[in-house]
Structure 1
């Protein structure tokens, strides 16, 4: 990487946990300069504005979750195992997700849900649509192979999966009790085994 690319990456890595914990509105330029040890000019020499830094930080935070989910699914050949890999990932990775400030999808979605259209809001919407679409594809592939019940509605269950996971993360973070998440993950695994698998 060039010096400029290294500096940009450094800014992203140092500010990502702050944006994830404090949100876009709650993160000031002073927070960014304090975290990086750089001047305002140095930060804005690499990014057009604070929103561009926040967007890059969101991508950085998101990559931990998406890469982990992909790696978990890649180890699984069947649709059943690919679906079960989702709650297994969250069960295994929750402590690290919590240490990083929580689920970046949930944190950012909560902040932008009533905000006017922005690049950050659009990226969160794309992320949620992409996650849902991936779950739908896994379920439909399992239906085609006869592994999952043909009558189930893939979009319905994809939405339920996401709501259970993000709701469980929200409850666990807010109450400080990880068992709230683990309970929802147990239920999700039960749903997979009893309502989806043939």
Structure 2
């Protein structure tokens, strides 16, 4: 990798951490300079604006989390195991999140709701991508006879992601992982009792 590419990657990585903890609006160019150790001229040699940095930083953070989801999913053979794998990635969100600052999609969605349409659009893409992965898992579970055929795939995926994101938010707000733990246990019980085919 060329030196310029390494510098650009460094700026993206450090800015992603900064934005995911402080928010886009809360992180200034001076914060980016302090975090990266690169002066304003060096930053603008690689990026045209703070907006450009923010979009690439979001893609980077979402990519890190996405890779951890993929790794967790690859270890599971059942649809139930794969759906619960999303929760396991965030089981220690307070002390050891998959990306510093928590869920990039959630943080970006909350902050950019009315203030930054491009970032909001990226978060919406992340939402659709995650829901599509969950729906694919559920569809596969129905095809393999693990889940009931009459399941509402859209509703179950939305329920799963809402429990996941709610658990992340409440656990971070309270400063302990109990909401993630409770939501994981509740979702596991729901899958067994309401979604899986009986023997």
What is residue 185 of structure 1 aligned with on the other side?
184
SS of 1:24's equivalent? coil
What is residue 30 of structure 2 aligned with on the other side?
30
| Contact preservation (8 Å) 1:87, 1:189 | no
Cα RMSD for the two superposed structures: 1.6
Moved over 6 A (4+): none
| Contact preservation (8 Å) 1:79, 1:147 | yes
TM-score (norm 2): 0.92
Count of aligned residue pairs for this structure pair: 197
Deviations 1:12-34 (A, max 9, x none): 12222111011111111110111
Name structure 2 gaps, 5 residues minimum: none
Structural mapping, 1:1-198, within 5 Å: 1-91=1-91, 95-97=95-97, 100-118=100-118, 120-198=119-197
Deviation, structure 1 residue 39: 1.4
SS of 2:38's equivalent? coil
Name structure 1 gaps, 5 residues minimum: none
Instruction: Give the Cα separation in 2 of the matches to 1:79 and 1:175.
Output: 31
TM-score (norm 1): 0.93
| Contact preservation (8 Å) 2:94, 2:175 | no
SS of 1:114's equivalent? coil
